[in-house]
Structure 1
């Protein structure tokens, strides 16, 4: 069973991702969604656990689906690992889509 993070941790991460990283959400969704979900017009991070991040993807036709993307480094159980894994997903998404990643602070 995957690790479950406290609700306040999940809320803080989602607020950050959906407030400051909307383009990253879309990039990750476009890179990791199966072809059946394309084209994706928008994506919102809706949750995560110790095994994966969850996004609601909105296709160009308005249909919505859920996308679960496993963490690149494997299962996690600590709050700092969430950031590390989201950054790793972003970098992997950039590589898949041929996008130059921005530097990480």
Structure 2
């Protein structure tokens, strides 16, 4: 059964991603979607199996993007960061972008 995170965890992660890392969400949406001209993206949800983003396309429409966690299912809030960082790194690899160092 998929692990569901509590409201505080969801609010914290989504607020951080959408306020501090919108460019990472854009990279992830672009890397895990094909044949779409994505101009912006925001993280909308996550659970123990993966993350969800909504991608904004050049024509004004939106596209849902769900990506499974690279390391498999998770159950702890601290694991979310690790998996998003792994998605970011994989997105950079797929798109030929030099990843920034992780703190």
Structure 2 counterpart of 1:54, from 48, 52, 55:
52
Structure 2: stretches of 5+ with no match in the other structure: none
State the secondary structure of the residue aligned to 1:91.
Answer: helix
The match for 1:16 is: 16
RMSD, aligned α-carbons: 0.6
The match for 1:34 is: 34
The match for 2:94 is: 96
Runs of 4+ in structure 1 over 2 Å off: none
Aligned length: 103
Shift of 1:34: 2.9
CA distance in 2, matches of 1:99, 1:66: 23
Shift of 1:61: 0.3
CA distance in 1, matches of 2:38, 2:59: 9
TM-score computed with the length of structure 1 as normaliser: 0.96
Task: Give CA deviations for 1:62-86 in whole Å, capped at 9, x if unaligned.
Answer: 1112110000000000011000000
Structure 1: stretches of 5+ with no match in the other structure: none
